[in-house]
Amino acid sequence: MAQLITALLVPFDEQGKLMEESLRQVVEYNITENKVDGLYVGGSTGENFMLDTTTKKNIFKIVKEVAEDRIELIAQVGSLNIYEAKELAAYVVNELGYQKISSVTPFYYKFDFEEIKNYYFEIVKDVEAELIVYSIPALTGVNFSEDQFGELFENPKITGVKYTAGDFYLMERLRSRFPDKLMYSGFDEMLLPAAAVGIDGAIGSTFNVNAKRARQILTAVEGNDLATARKVQAETNDLIQKILANGLYNTLKLMLTEKGIDMGYCHLPMKHYTNEQVEVAQELVKEYM
Ligand code: SI3
């Protein structure tokens, strides 16, 4: 069965300070209520690229303290500062015992493939852990070809990809050519087609509030019950459409706050929520959770 992995939301107060107790609660909620198989920590959903190194380390530490070994944890350590990425990788693997790390493709500067490959090989060089390439071309501008994925996968420590893209032709080509590498899908609204291609897991932000439907989709596809998979994906996409229209991370946080976990605010420069957004989130909880 493909794994369901929540891309973890991280709560911040109005000043942008980590709300530690709420973080503990949202980890526990994902384990006991959402019953997910794992957490992706420090990704886009965790607002990671706006945080300092100390806060990133604190988040990895708290998540591990709460989750212990009950579920799989993947630490996203990627950073434009390669030395920070290496420091975080060493910290999560050697001091906290994470077995998998992940790293976003370096963004902003137009790095060529050789530079990007060196970045990945350098990050894994000194740690004993598997690395999942975090590919999200819409946000990074970095598109790998099938052969370029192949070059990255030549490194035995690079064991898979978190594939956040809508190119199902490339996804299928990678699935067929690299059956031993892990393929995680990243777009929750495309979970059904990704599951049909044969993913090993899905990593998503909306699983914080919609894990049960996501699990139903995976189960239905694996049981060849396409009618159920389509029905549940359609309900899911009604929800995701409304979440996106109301502001993705603010709405996900507000929905969990409505469920009793105070998720605070998004980190500046992201906007703080408005009263209208709160009202929409409350309605979504009534209708979908
Ligand atoms: O890094 C992460 O936190 C993710 O796993 C990201 C994940 O792919 C999400 N993408 C972003 C940009 O947030 C999706 O779960 C996405 O929010 C969802 O499919 C709605 O578009």
pLDDT digits (tens, 9 = 90+) for 266-276: 999 999 999 99
State the binding site for pyruvate. Answer: 45, 203
Hey, whose CA ends up nearest to atom 15 of ligand 1?
Answer: 204
Within a domain: 282: no
Within a domain: 252: no
Phi first, then psi, for residue 167 (nearest 5°) are -90, 90
DSSP category for residue 94: I
Ligand 1 proximity of 164 Cβ (cutoff 6 Å):
yes
> Following DSSP, what letter does each residue of 12-24 receive, concatenated?
B-TTS-B-HHHHH
Q: Counting atoms of ligand 1 from 1, which one is nearest the CA of 204?
A: 15
Q: How far is the CA of 186 from the centre of ligand 1 (A)?
A: 6
What pLDDT is recorded for position 124?
97
What pLDDT is recorded for position 223?
97
Kindly indicate the confidence band of residue 203, based on its pLDDT and cuts at 50, 70 and 90: very high
Kindly indicate the confidence band of residue 229, based on its pLDDT and cuts at 50, 70 and 90: very high
What pLDDT is recorded for position 220?
98
3-state secondary structure of 79: coil
Within a domain: 277: no
Pairwise CA distance, residues 222 & 224, whole Å: 5
Within a domain: 266: no
What pLDDT is recorded for position 228?
98
Q: How far is the CA of 83 from the centre of ligand 1 (A)?
A: 25
What pLDDT is recorded for position 31?
98
Question: What's the number of CA atoms in the CB half-sphere (13 Å) around residue 163?
Answer: 32
Ligand 1 proximity of 205 Cβ (cutoff 6 Å):
yes
Within a domain: 254: no
- Helix segments in the chain, DSSP class H: 20-32, 53-67, 82-90, 113-125, 137-140, 146-153, 168-177, 191-197, 207-222, 226-246, 248-258, 275-288
- Average pLDDT of the chain is 97
Kindly indicate the confidence band of residue 200, based on its pLDDT and cuts at 50, 70 and 90: very high
Hey, whose CA ends up nearest to atom 8 of ligand 1?
Answer: 186
Hey, whose CA ends up nearest to atom 17 of ligand 1?
Answer: 205
What pLDDT is recorded for position 106?
96
Active site residues: 134, 162
What pLDDT is recorded for position 158?
98
| CATH code where residue 25 lies | 3.20.20.70
Q: Counting atoms of ligand 1 from 1, which one is nearest the CA of 45?
A: 3
Domain count, the chain: 1
Kindly indicate the confidence band of residue 135, based on its pLDDT and cuts at 50, 70 and 90: very high
Q: How far is the CA of 187 from the centre of ligand 1 (A)?
A: 6
Pairwise CA distance, residues 146 & 150, whole Å: 6
What pLDDT is recorded for position 119?
98
Pairwise CA distance, residues 243 & 250, whole Å: 9
Mean pLDDT value of segment 195-205: 98
Ligand 1 proximity of 78 Cβ (cutoff 6 Å):
no
* Residue to mutate, 9, 41, 45, ligand 1, most ligand atoms under 8 Å from C-beta: 45
What are 148's strand-pairing partners? none
Within a domain: 231: no
Kindly indicate the confidence band of residue 149, based on its pLDDT and cuts at 50, 70 and 90: very high
Burial level of 286, CB count in 10 A (0-12/13-18/19+)?
Answer: exposed
Q: Which residues contact 218 (CB under 8 A, 6 or more apart)?
A: 1, 2, 4, 191, 195, 202
Q: What angle do CA 235, 240, 242 make, to 5 degrees?
A: 100
Domain carrying residue 99: 3-225
Kindly indicate the confidence band of residue 219, based on its pLDDT and cuts at 50, 70 and 90: very high
Ligand 1 proximity of 45 Cβ (cutoff 6 Å):
yes
Within a domain: 274: no
3-state secondary structure of 130: strand
Phi first, then psi, for residue 18 (nearest 5°) are -60, 130
Ligand 1 proximity of 11 Cβ (cutoff 6 Å):
no
Q: How far is the CA of 205 from the centre of ligand 1 (A)?
A: 5
Pairwise CA distance, residues 147 & 13, whole Å: 44
Ligand 1 proximity of 7 Cβ (cutoff 6 Å):
yes
Kindly indicate the confidence band of residue 72, based on its pLDDT and cuts at 50, 70 and 90: very high
Within a domain: 58: yes
Q: Closest Cα partner for 173 from 201, 144, 202?
A: 144
Q: How far is the CA of 86 from the centre of ligand 1 (A)?
A: 24
Kindly indicate the confidence band of residue 162, based on its pLDDT and cuts at 50, 70 and 90: very high
Kindly indicate the confidence band of residue 237, based on its pLDDT and cuts at 50, 70 and 90: very high
